[in-house]
Amino acid sequence: MTNVSFHTYADLDQDQRAALLRRSEADLSGVIEKVKPIIEAVRTEGDEALVRFARDFDRSEGVHKGNLKVTEAEFDAAFKLVDADVIEAIKFGTENIRSFHEEQKPETMWMKEIRPGAFAGDRFTPIQSVALYVPRGKGSFPSVTMMTSGPAMVAGVPNVAIVTPPAPDGTVDAATLVAARLAGVETVYKVGGAQAVAAVAYGTDTIKPALKIVGPGSPWVVAAKRLLAGVLDTGLPAGPSEAVIFADDTVNGSLAALDLLIEAEHGPDSSAYLVTHSRRVAEEALAALPGFWAQMTEQRVGFSTTVLTGRNGGIVLTESVDQSYDFINAYAPEHLEILSTEPYDHLGRITEASEILLGQYTPCSIGNFGLGPNAVLPTSRWARTYGPLSVTDFVKRSSIGYVTAAGFPLLAGHAHKLALYEGFSSHAIAVSDERYKHVR
């Protein structure tokens, strides 16, 4: 039997407990140094660098300067290459995602009368250009296209483009193109990795620069986002997948094992823990894993065993349910499942998780593929300050103020006092009687 990492939490010292919280991307220093010349090459060489990196990193000989952008014919062909049942599943998820995110869309403008004759409020307008990163290194992910393009289109972003790595023959994953078109996105570029982030930051002859990029990616993508954060808005930090499966003593451990494998199979850099205070659940899960591995593909078995036998995954047996809550809140997972016959009993004690899926019929699979809430989520404990990707990530807020002649004297008087106190003479003059001499 594969030696799954098993941690008895009470036996761990402070350093060992802290080690459980680390993610694979925690130290990006080595990757950042490798990414720097890639960014500089894209900045100075543009499309030529993108073609070279497609060949070097993606093993794609089919990409050249003339076909970096997906054509309408390629979109049309994609619908013939994807099975009808998969297209139907993409349509189903796209509809749910759009429906969910339409409820998030803020009203265009609101205003409140703060004092008589003085009004203040907010106005929301779409960001003018956004790039959506759709990974491909460990598979094809039309679901990421659905999750990123859905809220962007609901928000009304006028210029949306997808960047995604090419296949060796220079094509883009057909299901990704289907998902893009069904969402309403018709601009897709054949570029991935750090070079994609650089391309949308600086622009090339083919690729238009964007104001923001969103979407999950490898440590190379995360490193490029960090380096380019001063050039474009890099959005919420979404790196390799991670999940905590919390199970109390009301459920079968085999169910916990089944769901533990969901995010663990994303790649060897994923993180996945089963956290439980029930030894029965832990031991049942441990016993059930080989049976599930026997039903999986060789590649995904390799990914998930690497995770669950390594430093970023396994089983954590706590002494009490309160200790389980403490671990989850300290870990601040991207995905959290609460496996219990009464999941709402636990929900109130967990504050640090980006996605919380309740009960025995809500596995991460359903969240990933179209329940409605967004599955592009903050990783590496950023759930403590960030939420899931949403419509609000694609709009910007402007404050609106309007003071009438009747409302001016009250606000001006208080502003005048504070302006003088802080030493701003021009501020003070602008709200003094001098103003009346110049107003028509």
Q: Which residues are identified as catalytic? A: 334-335
Helix axes 174-183, 72-81, angle to 10 degrees: 110
Structural tokens at position 97: 């995602």
Instruction: Name the DSSP letter for residue 132.
Output: E
Ranges of H-type helices in 310-407: 321-331, 344-347, 364-369
**Residue indicated by tokens 């919420």:** 236
CA 145/CA 148 separation, integer angstroms: 5
CA 94/CA 369 separation, integer angstroms: 9
Query: Considering only CA atoms, which of 314, 326, 324, 247 is closest in space to residue 281?
Result: 247
Structural tokens at position 350: 């967990």
Residues 259 and 281: beta-carbon distance below 8 Å: no
Indicate the residue type of 405.
A
CA 6/CA 429 separation, integer angstroms: 70
Residues 162 and 149: beta-carbon distance below 8 Å: yes
Structural tokens at position 7: 């941690």
Indicate the residue type of 190.
K
Instruction: Name the DSSP letter for residue 392.
Output: G
CA 155/CA 305 separation, integer angstroms: 40
CA 320/CA 332 separation, integer angstroms: 19
Give 396's strand partners: 125
CA 174/CA 73 separation, integer angstroms: 12
Give 364: exposed, middle or buried? Use CB within 10 Å, 0-12, 13-18, 19+. Answer: buried
Query: Considering only CA atoms, which of 86, 98, 54, 300 is closest in space to residue 174?
Result: 86
Residues 49 and 41: beta-carbon distance below 8 Å: yes
